[in-house]
Amino acid sequence: MTISSEKWRADFPILHQVVNDEPLVYLDNAATSQKPTAVLKAVEEYYHTSNANVHRGVHTLAERATTQYENARETVRRFIHANETAEVLFTRGTTTSLNWLAQSLGDAIVEPGDEIVISYMEHHSNIIPWQQLAKRKQAKLVYIELTGDGQLDMDDARKKITDKTKIVSLTHVSNVLGSITPIKTIAELTHAKDGVMVVDGAQAVPHMPVDVQALDADFYAFSGHKMLAPTGIGVLYGKREWLDKIEPIEFGGEMNDFVGLESSTWKELPWKFEAGTPNISGAIGLAKAIDYLEIIGMSEIMEHEQEIVDYLMPKLAKIEGLTVFGPKNPKDRTGVIAFNLDSVHPHDVATAMDMEGVAVRAGHHCAQPLMTYLEQQSTARASFYLYNTRADADKFVEALIATKEFFAYGLD
Ligand code: C6P
């Protein structure tokens, strides 16, 4: 194995418990990851020693809190290889980041008749904000097709990204198929047509190295809670040239420079986008989570997940009546595996697996257009992370076979 997942899992107190009389095997990491003690302690330490509002006070605690919050921004900048901290905006998460963009960027550049290009494998958070924008602006939402094994169809992408394209917004990694989108190539196609490249990185940043400059993304959104950090903190990266041009979406305290009776002016980047008291402890927790991920190494985490998928695929292929969605080659995906058992509802699969201590998600995974595309109502989904071991993968297969047998008897 690339990384010592046994060793790392010791840092996650929540994993060491018994659920339904079985040791917990947590395989719902695409929904949210668990948090290591280092992150929990960093948040606790902040509240014990430094809690104050940021950018407002001159007293010692206020300065301490402000320094920690801004240091967290620098940690994020370094992690995603942004050019400067001004390009790193703290948000509540990917959903907020994409909503901000669809309003702010959308209102600035989209005109009637323009096209916004997304794909059939997008999460609702990367569909609905653009749908709403398209309605407001009488623009058109265009969907890129997928290949047979659930990857972005690059031939179709070349057809759909045209002179009419204003924005292309794609997921870097699908939360259902696990497939990895070649963002750099798409960004080249987009820029050749003078379009703006937006990336939903919710399922990528926690699992693989991401360099926003190498990808040449104009905007890149992700959530802290899927990468070991607390909930309620996320990031919107944007190139300065774009952030300087677009207006904030939220207005109020701290984002302003001068407030007059009729109009106001905004602070410089990144603060012009961060109205109100931010999630200070969340940002500090996110920075600690990044430190933790960097100790393990993002390439190593990616390889670890791909090794688990590689280990699992032949075992899953032997289970009759099991359909696994997404790319067959582990190199084309991360550790997200959506699957269905013939004649068993995915919710029943997830409930039965929970009885074995195995936590998987079932449902449409906030990707209903993808479900329609795959001709499925819903699927079950196992998603692995750095602390999942081969033993977890074995337990997953065991629980899946037990579930299948249980329902086969039930049907007889
Ligand atoms: N997907 C899942 O179980 P938020 O909720 O804002 O942190 O992230 C939204 C989001 C956006 N894009 C992608 C690709 C995502 O996977 C998610 C969150 C979770 O798949 C919850 S639905």
Q: Which among 265, 294, 323 is the end of a domain? A: 294
Tallying the residues shown for the chain, one arrives at 412
Helix or strand (DSSP H, E) at 170: strand 165-171
Interior/surface letters 38-77, b for 16+ CB within 10 angstroms, e for the rest: ebbebbeebeeebebbbbeeeeeebebbbebbeebbebbb
Q: Which residues, 6 or more positions from 223, have their beta carbon under 8 angstroms from its beta carbon?
A: 93, 94, 95, 202, 233, 234
Average confidence (pLDDT) over 325-346:
95
Same domain, 197 and 211: yes
Q: For ligand 1, say whether the CB of 5 is within 6 Å of any of its atoms.
A: no
Q: Residue 43 and residue 27: Cα distance in Å, rounded?
A: 25
Same domain, 17 and 164: no
Helix or strand (DSSP H, E) at 234: strand 234-238
Helix or strand (DSSP H, E) at 168: strand 165-171
User: If you measure from the C-alpha of residue 261 to the centroid of ligand 1, how many angstroms do you get, rounded to a whole number?
Assistant: 40
Q: What is the CATH number of the domain that holds 160?
A: 3.40.640.10
pLDDT in tens, 235-290: 999 999 999 999 999 999 999 999 999 999 999 999 999 999 999 999 999 999 99
The SS3 assignment for 265 reads strand
Q: What is the CATH number of the domain that holds 323?
A: 3.90.1150.10
Average confidence (pLDDT) over 403-412:
78
Same domain, 145 and 278: yes
Average confidence (pLDDT) over 331-357:
97
Same domain, 290 and 308: no
Task: Tell the residue nearest (CA) to atom 8 of ligand 1.
Answer: 94
Give the position, in ligand 1's atom list, of the atom nearest the Cα of 200. Answer: 12
Average confidence (pLDDT) over 17-30:
98
Same domain, 137 and 235: yes
Same domain, 188 and 53: yes
Q: Are 140 and 115 in contact (CB under 8 A)?
A: yes
Q: Residue 308 and residue 331: Cα distance in Å, rounded?
A: 11
Same domain, 189 and 317: no
Instruction: State yes or no: pLDDT of 204 exceeds 70.
Output: yes
Neighbours of 296 (CB within 10 A): 18
Instruction: State yes or no: pLDDT of 410 exceeds 60.
Output: no
Neighbours of 404 (CB within 10 A): 20
Instruction: State yes or no: pLDDT of 162 exceeds 90.
Output: yes
How much of the chain, in percent, has pLDDT values that exceed 90? Answer: 97
Q: Which among 294, 314, 331 is the end of a domain? A: 294
Average confidence (pLDDT) over 360-365:
98
Give the chain's mean pLDDT: 97
Give the position, in ligand 1's atom list, of the atom nearest the Cα of 176. Answer: 20
pLDDT in tens, 131-140: 999 999 999 9
Residue 378 lies in domain: 5-31+297-409
Same domain, 158 and 19: no
Same domain, 338 and 394: yes
Q: Residue 94 and residue 282: Cα distance in Å, rounded?
A: 14
Q: Residue 75 and residue 78: Cα distance in Å, rounded?
A: 5
Instruction: State yes or no: pLDDT of 307 exceeds 70.
Output: yes
The whole-angstrom distance between residue 37's C-alpha and the CA centroid of its chain comes to 22
Same domain, 145 and 78: yes
Instruction: State yes or no: pLDDT of 411 exceeds 70.
Output: no
Same domain, 82 and 17: no
User: If you measure from the C-alpha of residue 278 to the centroid of ligand 1, how many angstroms do you get, rounded to a whole number?
Assistant: 21
Q: Which among 238, 271, 294 is the end of a domain? A: 294
Instruction: State yes or no: pLDDT of 333 exceeds 60.
Output: yes
The SS3 assignment for 230 reads coil
Taking the whole predicted model, whether its pTM rises above 0.95 is answered as: yes
Residue whose structure tokens are 């963009």: 101
Q: Which active-site residues does the annotation give?
A: 366
User: If you measure from the C-alpha of residue 177 to the centroid of ligand 1, how many angstroms do you get, rounded to a whole number?
Assistant: 13
The number of distinct structural domains making up the chain is 2
Question: Between the CA of residue 221 and those of 59, 110, 273, 289, 322, what are the distances in Å?
Answer: 34, 20, 14, 17, 34
Q: What's the pLDDT score for residue 412?
A: 46
Residue 1: band (very low, low, confident or very high) from pLDDT cuts 50, 70, 90: low
Same domain, 239 and 383: no
Q: For ligand 1, say whether the CB of 366 is within 6 Å of any of its atoms.
A: yes
Give the position, in ligand 1's atom list, of the atom nearest the Cα of 175. Answer: 16
